[in-house]
Structure 1
Amino acid sequence: EHGADSGGDEQQQAPPAVAVAAQQLVGRVLAEGAGAITGMVEMELPHETEGRPAVGMTTAGVTTLCAMRVRELMESWGYEVISFHCNGIGAKAMEELAEAGRLVGILDITPHDITDLLFGGIFPANPARMEATCRKGLPIVLVPGAADFILFGPLSSVPPEMLQRKYVIHNPIHTHVKANYDEMKAVGRFVAERLSRSTGPSVVLIPSKGFSQLNVPGGPMYEPESDRGFIEGLEEGLERKDIRNVSVKTLDLHINDPAFAETAAHHLHAMIKNLRFLPQP
């Protein structure tokens, strides 16, 4: 049996659309029309956060623990963190804010929508994914969180040949199917091609013990030989273009380990500090 039931519910683990937790931008974003992320935005009221530099972060239920620790640290250092669900619409909204000059950095820790874009998942990225953030030269920390599976609808909607792979019935309407080596390599190449256009600094952090909640040693989606494809595609793409402003670091951690989240937060803060004056942690 290749399948498993996660017992999870994406609706409970993370909002099914753009989750904007940044109080700083609420009024201005709505007033300027970026609130036309129509009904897809979850916000809280301001609490004396005006003037705090904002960073964008992609999230999902299966990377929640990483996102929570990153948020805790970044907020303690004086940032506002705006979270966007990895459903395609979320990243597009994040990149629109980046294009408008509202963000000082990007924590793209859940680029799952790229995998769905390339391989027919139900939450595909906009084809211009990552272009705006790279064009602006923003500091970027990218992690292949949840890029390790293709999201389909109910189990009955999954192509029969895909059922020979590892898969998880996440809930009655979402099925996670493990991306294979070639697919992960294509995602790595996509990321390398986009980062190669950026004039700003970028760090790609690889969690060698798994890219999502159930991709963990002993878990139903653990398949490190497939995940290796992401690293190889990324490194080949960067080497071919002789890119110097992108570094790749592999950590012997799972994406949801606190130490991994702390490394991601420290890297982004350090890159932002090098570009502008910000409060010291």
Structure 2
Amino acid sequence: MSTVALLTALDTKAADAAYLRDRLHAAGHRVLLVDVGVLGEPGVVPDVTRDAVARAAGTDIVTLRARADRGHAVAMMAAGATAVVLDLSGRVDGFMAIGGGAGTTIGCAALRELPFGVPKVVLTTVAAGDTAGYLGTSDIVLVPSVVDVAGVNRISARTYALAADALSGMVDGLARPTPVAEDRPVVAASMFGVTTPCVTRALEQLERAGCEVLVFHATGAGGRTMARLVAEGRVDAVLDLTTTEWADEIAGGILSAGPDRLTSVDVPQVVSLGATDMVNFGSPETVPAQYAGRLLYRHNPQNTLMRVSPEEAERIGAALGAALASATGPTVLLIPLRGVSALDAPGAAFEDPVARIALVDAVRARLGGSSVCVEDHDLHLNDPAFADLAASRVLQLLEEKPMTHAVEKARS
């Protein structure tokens, strides 16, 4: 019999937890109830008590109650729940958490630390809007509760059943083999709409050469997820042609991957400056007032692009170069002198040779004396010849550094 863990506050969500437990029992799973409540007494008997969760965070329930600080209590129970979940990992087949804002915060904090591929579902009232803070780079499945998690009724019973059945299906699926490609190098690649021609052609070249390519959309979460899989040892090489997330980090856009993007990569990588000519915002009215009068491009109703200025381009180049200089694996930077995106091309909306030169000069300045190999090419990033060149450099690096255990990691 497989085992699943269910995390929730059993003082306020006891009826909800009991319903989910019974549904999972009926599907053939043993259920461990983990109580993350603080104030009231649990309405059902937990398998892991709130006291045990608090102790795992270095505190106790009496202390948390006496402090009467809800934010502190949530933070401590999240830390304790994370420790409990990691301890259960390997002995439990799937995980679920349920709740409102606090329950989701605690549950997601714990579940997102689990390895990729472990079934994890969060039934929540906040499965709408910006959920990046809850998900991080994990593969948690968020299920909208539709109504509040506050008892079983004709609506919640259905959403609870769907969530339980989803987790049950994921856990049962673990017993069925997942097709895995034969041992071959795994390459992680970054892509954006305005760099798609380049990355797609390079991908095709790499696949013809026997590589398996994982493509990540450079939307902030994409860059962070790619970095996580690299750090976990699931990738043999990186084709990071789309480093646009640095533009958002520097200029305050909505798709930043944070200040650690590109830093300390320890596998072979081929990098370029794809889409560093633009910063991303939402609909036009969301563009900050400080950018009034700037050159904007409406990519779609929900996405407005802003052309970076020469000054911003210099800062982006300096940050990108500093990050690249910290790489511990073989690194090649390919500079496309004729443009870095579909919009930064002759006659296109964002053509700006001055800003492009500022970007390139700043990158070069930061990489002086580093081990990064810098190559200038009189090509546009989306030229087929540039894509072919990028793919060939990846293959050369892979020949020089044999494949790691990425495939074995993917199977584990």
Question: Can you give the 5+ residue segments of structure 1 that lack an aligned partner in the other structure?
Answer: 1-27
Counterpart of 1:141 in structure 2 is 270
The 1:65/1:47 distance shift into structure 2, 3 A limit, reads farther
The correspondence of residues 25-44 of structure 1 with structure 2, limited to 5 A, is 29-31=116-118, 36-38=138-140
Partners of 1:166 and 1:35 in 2: how far apart? 32
Counterpart of 1:272 in structure 2 is 398
Q: Secondary structure at the match of 2:117?
A: helix
1:226-258 superposed Cα distances (whole Å, 9 cap, x missing partner): 01111111111112xx21x21211212111111
**Quick check: 1:213 aligned with 2:342?**
yes
Partners of 1:66 and 1:224 in 2: how far apart? 20
Match of 1:83 among 215, 220, 223: 215
Partners of 1:236 and 1:275 in 2: how far apart? 28
The correspondence of residues 101-120 of structure 1 with structure 2, limited to 5 A, is 101-120=233-252
Q: Contact 2:236/2:403 (CA < 8 Å) preserved in 1?
A: no
Please give the TM-score of this superposition, normalised by the length of structure 2.
0.55
Match of 1:97 among 201, 225, 229: 229
The correspondence of residues 161-180 of structure 1 with structure 2, limited to 5 A, is 161-180=290-309
Q: Contact 2:137/2:221 (CA < 8 Å) preserved in 1?
A: no
Deviation at 1:131, TM superposition (A): 2.5
Q: Secondary structure at the match of 1:106?
A: strand
Deviation at 1:274, TM superposition (A): 0.6
Identity of aligned residues (%): 32
Q: Secondary structure at the match of 1:233?
A: helix
Specify the structure having the higher radius of gyration (Cα): 2
One-letter identity of the residue aligned with 2:270: V
Question: Can you give the 5+ residue segments of structure 2 that lack an aligned partner in the other structure?
Answer: 1-114, 121-135, 143-176, 405-412
Deviation at 1:35, TM superposition (A): 8.4
Partners of 1:206 and 1:261 in 2: how far apart? 12
Q: Contact 1:37/1:93 (CA < 8 Å) preserved in 2?
A: no
Partners of 1:146 and 1:277 in 2: how far apart? 29
1:113-153 superposed Cα distances (whole Å, 9 cap, x missing partner): 11101111011112221235x2xx21111111111111111
Partners of 2:398 and 2:218 in 1: how far apart? 23
Q: Contact 2:137/2:228 (CA < 8 Å) preserved in 1?
A: no
The 1:46/1:111 distance shift into structure 2, 3 A limit, reads farther
Deviation at 1:62, TM superposition (A): 0.8
1:173-202 superposed Cα distances (whole Å, 9 cap, x missing partner): 111111111211111111221222222221
One-letter identity of the residue aligned with 1:37: D
Counterpart of 1:228 in structure 2 is 357
- RMSD value, Cα: 2.3
Partners of 2:365 and 2:317 in 1: how far apart? 9
One-letter identity of the residue aligned with 2:333: V
Deviation at 1:220, TM superposition (A): 0.9
Between the two proteins, the alignment pairs up a number of residues equal to 241
Q: Contact 1:209/1:255 (CA < 8 Å) preserved in 2?
A: yes
Partners of 1:203 and 1:46 in 2: how far apart? 34
**Higher-RCO chain (CA-CA 8 Å, sequence separation at least 6):** 1
Q: Contact 2:186/2:237 (CA < 8 Å) preserved in 1?
A: yes
Please give the TM-score of this superposition, normalised by the length of structure 1.
0.79
The 1:188/1:39 distance shift into structure 2, 3 A limit, reads farther
Partners of 2:180 and 2:284 in 1: how far apart? 46
Q: Secondary structure at the match of 1:177?
A: strand
Partners of 1:48 and 1:202 in 2: how far apart? 28
Counterpart of 2:324 in structure 1 is 195
Partners of 2:225 and 2:180 in 1: how far apart? 24
Match of 2:389 among 230, 249, 263: 263
1:147-169 superposed Cα distances (whole Å, 9 cap, x missing partner): 11111111122234534332211
**Quick check: 1:249 aligned with 2:372?**
no
Q: Contact 1:180/1:227 (CA < 8 Å) preserved in 2?
A: no
Deviation at 1:29, TM superposition (A): 4.0
The 1:176/1:63 distance shift into structure 2, 3 A limit, reads same
The 1:106/1:217 distance shift into structure 2, 3 A limit, reads same
Q: Secondary structure at the match of 2:338?
A: coil
